[in-house]
């Protein structure tokens, strides 16, 4: 399914939006923060963060899927991303990141549940999966809260072994 821009999807507290110029500040804040972006290849320079945003924008056209910008509906601010990533040679994965001040409030779970449902119901995917570094305990805890089930352990293109999780198809509306 080729798609040049993601649909906007409202949730209870969020909007999942197409990434774009309005996300630049959040990308720079996240990726230049060593602690916040450690599990995502950071810290990066501001220019590298801008390049990451450009790749996320292009993914929708090139792959037909990608990440959404996560915006709080009430405040109108961009607090992170959630959606799907797949680099060359890597399996497709559910991924997300949030700015530090937006963590611990259930936003990643709310956005991820919406992305998972969209992948099954709209993209028509047979499986939605994810993986993470062994030391990323916060991501693993969220995956378990989302109902992710460990299906195996794999060696990835970077030579590291990671647990691989699959999410069940959501039930009901």
Domain spans of the chain, in order of start: 9-167
- pTM of the shown model: 0.96
**Residue 168 CA to its chain's centroid (Å):** 17
Tens digit of pLDDT for each residue in 40-80?
A: 999 999 999 999 999 999 999 999 999 999 999 999 999 99
Q: Give the CATH superfamily of 9-167.
A: Gcn5-related N-acetyltransferase (GNAT) (3.40.630.30)
CB hemisphere CA count around 83 (13 angstroms): 27
Average pLDDT over residues 8-37: 98
Return phi, psi of residue 162, to 5°: -140, 150
Structure tokens at 89: 């040679």
Spatial separation of the C-alpha atoms in residues 84 and 51, rounded to whole Å: 17
Is residue 128 scored above 60 in pLDDT? yes
d(CA 157, CA 170): 30
In the prediction, which pLDDT does 171 show? 84
């Amino acid at each position: 399914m080729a798609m040049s821009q993601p649909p906007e999807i409202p949730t209870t507290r969020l909007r999942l939006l197409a990434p774009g110029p309005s996300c630049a500040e959040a990308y720079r804040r996240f990726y230049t923060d060593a602690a916040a972006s450690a599990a995502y290849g950071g810290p990066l320079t501001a220019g590298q963060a801008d390049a990451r945003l450009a790749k996320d924008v292009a993914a929708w056209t090139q792959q037909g899927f990608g990440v959404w910008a996560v915006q709080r509906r009430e405040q109108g601010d961009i607090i992170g991303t959630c959606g799907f990533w797949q680099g060359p040679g890597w399996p497709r994965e559910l991924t997300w990141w949030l700015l530090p001040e937006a963590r611990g409030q259930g936003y990643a779970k709310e956005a991820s549940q919406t992305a998972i449902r969209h992948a099954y119901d709209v993209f028509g995917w047979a499986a939605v999966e994810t993986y993470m570094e062994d030391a990323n305990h916060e991501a693993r805890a969220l995956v378990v809260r989302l109902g992710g089930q460990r299906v195996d352990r794999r060696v990835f293109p970077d030579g590291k072994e990671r647990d691989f999780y699959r999410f069940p198809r959501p039930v009901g509306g």
